[in-house]
Structure 1
Amino acid sequence: MEGEISPDRILQIGFGFWPSKTLLSAVELELFSRLADGPKTGLELQGTIGLHPRATYDFLDTLVALGLLQRDGAGTTGKYGNTPSTALFLVKQSPQYIGGILEMANARLYRFWGDLTPALKTGKPQNEIKETGKSMFDALYSDPARLEQFMDAMSGISMGNFMAFAEKFDFSRYKTLADIGGATGQLSAIVAARHPHMQCWTCDLADVRPIAERRVRERNLGDRITAETIDFFSDEFPKADIITMGMILHDWNLENKKMLIAKAFRALPVGGALVAIENIIDDERRQNAFGLMMSLNMLIEFGDAFDFTGAQFTEWCKEAGFSRCEIIQLAGAASAAVAYK
């Protein structure tokens, strides 16, 4: 009957964890990377990644049905291969690999989101701190291998946003950039490669600096990118024409957000720009579902941290002394919120 109301979308959302976990397990098993050198039969993959015979074809054919694998033929002679998108984004050897963030989602976030209801009722984080008494960052920084995995995860999810920022923002009036919380130096590297006149500093904690220095050397950009040690709670920001923060502001409560914005204002010259790259929520809070769910994720991770709208960013920045703000749409749900001094 025309116009009949259907429960399909409700059920699709309600069972969204089914396709999610199927993909996350495939990434965990490095299935897509195993197919980088060409298609394989189900039996070959069963042996390669250690699948049980009962699970093999249900698992692989589910990935075919989800559009994450291609299959030529059927049954034991059928061969499974990557799609163009999984070959580009989910093969570890690919420069565009984004699987790091999915590895983290599988290892951490999937189980923590199982406690969303307690988070909604208590306003308290539901991550490692609930189990061990240590915050997420305490747990990460105590394990160098896990810290680098986290940095790679952030690099994977941020790459498209940083590339779009390097293309869409007008760098012609500026010469220097300091990236606060710069992690592996990815944002600085992308900007420096796209704009040869820019000199960049990637600034993060002492434990992160060796990672950034190594990644900058690998990109042969050591002459234009310097890794600096900074604790942005206790240290002032370095002076630069542009201060960037990629997925940093949303990690903190309102007081700390305003503190970081004020430090950026003090570090910038007149005409300088603060750029916050985030999943900026639309002002009406109706459209950017990913940004809103990211804010729920901040509840689960930190309790009082939250994502924000462009209007909120503008309010905080004008309160700090910035003269005007704009929002530049980047990739997917992300934007660059820019405040000019």
Structure 2
Amino acid sequence: MKTTKTTQVDPSKIMQIGTGYFATKTLLTAVNMGLFTLLAKSPLYGQEIQEKLGLHSRSLYDFLDALVALGFLNRTGIKKTSIYSNAADTALFLDKNKPSYIGGILEMSNNRLYPFWNNLEDGLKTGLPQNETKNNGKSLFETIYTDPVKLREFIEAMTGVQKGNFIAFGKEFDFSSYNTLCDIGGSGGTLSAHVYLNNPHMKCTSFDLPPVESIAKENLQNMGLSDKVDLLSGDFFTDPFPKSDVITMGNILHDWGKSDKKILIKKAYDALPKGGSFVVIENLIDADRRKNAFGLLMSLNMLIETAEGYDFSTSDFEEMTKEAGFGHISIMPLTGPTSAAIAIK
């Protein structure tokens, strides 16, 4: 007798995603409290962690052991005999005292973004941002750039989320035929720094608004690159781009609507020589819009955060850059869901 194999429909994916905020908030809380930075100094008993972080005894071990189960902590013993230490990835990326720290984006997610996402439905129905703008009418950037604390948090977040990509770009892009680079919206100067570190013949300039300069200067001092990377203040919508062989933008275009994207792309085209490269480092959505879930979710975050911003696909990039006059287009995968889209003048 012939049997037919049936596919078992399983609800586990629905439950995992639907309750995913349990794990998300647990990790964000641990980062925000500095748990991984604390454990980077030495492994600790649970009660020692409780004392140092000012935690209540109720749920102490549930919290710590959840981080063990999620793979962020290692543990020997159990409950009162437990000794906790960082897993390899948290030790490298979530210790605030290491240059590899990427927790800035997680701190901002905890302190700003997490509550705003509760209003995603409102955003989908109105098309309006759901962040600070909702309360005082100021845009995201007006709100952040007038508050030194929020500005520093924002820059550290942007640096953290892109640091691995900037390092990969600095190593993998062929700079042999170029001498100058300008990073538009250069934030903390990290992209320029890693391009220089891997290509010391390059003269790099980080271009951003005046309030950013002091933070970028501090970052470059900490990296020992104060005299290696130039800082230039200006507004990339109102000021001309510096003439350079390479123009880069890291997570800049997705902040803006299509018309503003086109303005910035055309300004990049005008600032480049023939054969120059325009490079955009973003969570580029695949042309078929099926694979890069992070890029699509980041585009929803642009709904939450901006008036018109959205993440775009490789096809969108090709269309906009060719309209501006660029010729050859290529995509360089970097880390995770991020790529460098390259357009040649």
| Pairwise TM-score range, normalised by the shorter structure | over 0.9
Question: Structure 2: 5+ residue runs without aligned partners?
Answer: none
* Distance in 2 between residues matched to 1:160 and 1:70, nearest whole Å: 24
* Distance in 1 between residues matched to 2:244 and 2:227, nearest whole Å: 17
Q: Which amino acid aligns with 1:185?
A: G
Correspondence 1:40 to 2:44: yes
SS in 2 for 1:262: helix
Q: Which amino acid aligns with 1:80?
A: Y
Q: Which amino acid aligns with 1:222?
A: S
Map of 1:239 onto structure 2: 243
SS in 1 for 2:37: helix
Q: Report the more deviating stretch, 218-227 or 99-108.
A: 218-227
Once the two structures are superposed, the pairs formed by residues 124-135 of structure 1 within 5 Å of their partners are 124-135=128-139
SS in 1 for 2:343: strand
Q: Which amino acid aligns with 1:53?
A: S
SS in 1 for 2:335: coil
Q: Report the more deviating stretch, 25-34 or 240-249.
A: 25-34
Map of 2:291 onto structure 1: 287
RMSD: 1.1
Once the two structures are superposed, the pairs formed by residues 98-113 of structure 1 within 5 Å of their partners are 98-113=102-117
* Distance in 1 between residues matched to 2:168 and 2:31, nearest whole Å: 26
2:70 to 66, 69, 78: 66
Once the two structures are superposed, the pairs formed by residues 135-284 of structure 1 within 5 Å of their partners are 135-284=139-288
* Distance in 2 between residues matched to 1:221 and 1:112, nearest whole Å: 37
Map of 1:29 onto structure 2: 33
Cα contact 1:198–1:224 (8 A) shared by 2: no
Change over 3 Å in CA distance of 1:218–1:75 after alignment to 2:
closer
CA deviation after TM superposition for structure 1 residue 2, in Å = 6.7
Q: Which amino acid aligns with 1:95?
A: P
1:110-155 residue CA offsets vs partner (Å, 9 max, x unmatched):
1101111011111100000002222221111111122112111111
Q: Report the more deviating stretch, 232-241 or 31-40.
A: 31-40
CA deviation after TM superposition for structure 1 residue 193, in Å = 0.6
SS in 1 for 2:114: helix
Map of 1:85 onto structure 2: 89
* Distance in 1 between residues matched to 2:68 and 2:223, nearest whole Å: 36
* Distance in 1 between residues matched to 2:88 and 2:43, nearest whole Å: 13
* Distance in 2 between residues matched to 1:330 and 1:40, nearest whole Å: 36
SS in 1 for 2:337: coil
2:328 to 305, 320, 324: 324
Q: Which amino acid aligns with 2:13?
A: R
Q: Which amino acid aligns with 2:100?
A: Q
Q: Which amino acid aligns with 2:310?
A: F
TM-score (norm 1): 0.98
Map of 2:99 onto structure 1: 95
Q: Report the more deviating stretch, 274-283 or 159-168.
A: 159-168
* Distance in 1 between residues matched to 2:137 and 2:193, nearest whole Å: 36
* Distance in 1 between residues matched to 2:42 and 2:228, nearest whole Å: 39
SS in 2 for 1:207: helix
Map of 1:6 onto structure 2: 10
SS in 2 for 1:190: helix
* Distance in 1 between residues matched to 2:260 and 2:243, nearest whole Å: 20
Correspondence 1:296 to 2:300: yes
* Distance in 2 between residues matched to 1:154 and 1:248, nearest whole Å: 10
Q: Report the more deviating stretch, 219-228 or 121-130.
A: 219-228
Q: Which amino acid aligns with 1:103?
A: E
Change over 3 Å in CA distance of 1:37–1:218 after alignment to 2:
closer
1:291-337 residue CA offsets vs partner (Å, 9 max, x unmatched):
00000000111132100011110111010011111111000000001
SS in 1 for 2:75: strand
Moved runs in structure 1, 4+ residues, more than 3 A?
none
Q: Report the more deviating stretch, 112-121 or 141-150.
A: 141-150
Cα contact 1:178–1:203 (8 A) shared by 2: yes
Q: How many residues align?
A: 341
CA deviation after TM superposition for structure 1 residue 3, in Å = 3.0
SS in 2 for 1:311: helix
* Distance in 2 between residues matched to 1:107 and 1:336, nearest whole Å: 29
Q: Which amino acid aligns with 2:343?
A: A
* Distance in 1 between residues matched to 2:6 and 2:66, nearest whole Å: 31
1:308 to 309, 312, 317: 312
Question: Percentage identity across aligned positions?
Answer: 53
